Amino acid sequence: MYLNFFNLKKEPFNITPDPELLFLSPSHKEALAAVIYGVKQRKGFIAIIGEVGVGKTTILRSFLDKANKQQLKTIYLFNANLSFKALLRTLYQGLGLTPENEDIYEMVDRLHHQLIEEYRAGNNVVLVIDEAQNMPVETLENLRMLSNLETATDKLIQVVFSGQPEFEEKLNGPSLRQFKQRIVISVRILPLTAKESRAYIEHRLAKTALGDPELFSSGALKKIIDRANGIPRVINILCDNCLITSFGNQQKQVSSKVAGEIIGEFHREKPSRLARQLALPAALLLLCLFLLFLWDHLHPLDKSSAAVRPQVSVEPLPASGAKASPPAQSSQSPHPAELASSEQPAAGDGDQQGVRKVVRRGDTLASLIKQNYGVVNRRLIRLVKQHNPNIVNENVIVEGDRIVFPER
């Protein structure tokens, strides 16, 4: 939504992996080189370990983007939480096979013959397992059978595991000690240093900017780098929201003040681990109390308790034929100045709370969000679009339309 304003050809801080914007720190270079070498030399099992958001998937996508697709048959597994039989079915599907029966050993035997055919044809089969820490221990134990599929010199299938440190902890368990010995290459991707984080931001801007890429003040960069702790995904989220907010403010450069606002908003959206652990029990407790309240009112204990109810003071009903007015609305006609206002309660929207604003000439969705909430970011844009199905493109709003801005 801000590309033209900042003279950019594409979004520089999109959180989806983009091999075109790949930034290689020393540990990223090592990981990419390890994957290329391990697959090319048919080493078998390869593991990439790293914290959430450090760029493991980006490394894999970069490798696959540059690989020889005529000789490399890749099967990408996004959901690692599979049984071994389900994993074999996925391999069969990737190789264009149909299981003749559900016996695991016969499935592995037929897979072995198919891999030999691929090897004779000069093809290399690669199974990429993302989020490998989610794979059950039993499945990992059975995966050792695939490492036995080999010729006298080469492995017939290469398996690249990409996982968080929990995957490494799982491998250190006693039941997987034999499996761990089969991993020939293991590399770790480290968070960026402060110097590398600045270079990362500058690299992405240089790749996407059509003009001067200095869109962040030095103070803003320092705050973002300090908060991100070297995690590229966090850098992307903070920088992208900073650009959205600056666009809403019609500022050509992200200031230190804007960066501080976004970082504060980011902190509020990230509850502590203790808060997350307590959230479900608290919700269940509230639900139980609500159900008890309903039961008490729908099923009085005895007649005497029911007889007491009429003593509770209530408002008199309107006279026959008269229409009851909602208590929150005044029966008097609104003042002309109120009718002229572009901000009105969002009436008629059921449980949708908030205000309506009339789009005026020169308004943008970002500027209206900024006026209403005091800040603009991706989360608020999604929230407003959810309550306004007529807004298909966040860059296009029509003068005279009414937009609902729900409560945060």
Residue 32 domain-assigned (yes or no): yes
Residue 148 domain-assigned (yes or no): yes
Backbone dihedral region for residue 348 (phi beyond 0: left; psi -120 to 50: alpha; all else: beta): left
- Last residue of one domain, picked from the residues 130, 156, 189: 189
Residue 11 domain-assigned (yes or no): no
Say yes or no: 146 and 159 in one domain.
yes
Say yes or no: 169 and 209 in one domain.
no
Say yes or no: 68 and 155 in one domain.
yes
Specify the pTM.
Answer: 0.68
Say yes or no: 85 and 163 in one domain.
yes
CATH of the domain at 96: 3.40.50.300
Instruction: List CB contacts of 408: < 8 A, sequence separation 6 or more.
Output: 373, 380, 383
Q: Residue 248 in contact with residue 369, Cβ under 8 Å?
A: yes
Say yes or no: 48 and 98 in one domain.
yes
Half-sphere exposure in the Cβ direction for 310 (13 Å, CA) = 3
Quick: pLDDT tens for 25-34. Answer: 999 999 999 9
Say yes or no: 47 and 101 in one domain.
yes
Say yes or no: 63 and 145 in one domain.
yes
Residue 209 domain-assigned (yes or no): yes
Which amino acid, 16? T
- Last residue of one domain, picked from the residues 269, 292, 323: 269
Say yes or no: 131 and 166 in one domain.
yes
Residue 323 domain-assigned (yes or no): no
Say yes or no: 144 and 229 in one domain.
no
More confident call, 199 vs 347: 199
Q: Which of 64-78, 318-332, 377-391 has the lowest mean pLDDT?
A: 318-332
Q: Which domain holds residue 349?
A: 342-406
Q: How far apart are CA 225 and CA 154, in angstroms?
A: 44
Quick: pLDDT tens for 190-226. Answer: 999 999 999 999 999 999 988 777 899 999 999 999 9
Say yes or no: 353 and 383 in one domain.
yes
Say yes or no: 182 and 199 in one domain.
no
Q: How far apart are CA 39 and CA 125, in angstroms?
A: 9
How many domains is the chain partitioned into structurally? 3
Q: Which of 181-190, 241-250, 309-318 has the lowest mean pLDDT?
A: 309-318
Question: Which pLDDT does position 341 carry in this prediction?
Answer: 41
- Last residue of one domain, picked from the residues 269, 293, 315: 269
CATH of the domain at 374: 3.10.350.10
Question: Which pLDDT does position 364 carry in this prediction?
Answer: 85
Say yes or no: 173 and 43 in one domain.
yes
Residue 369 domain-assigned (yes or no): yes
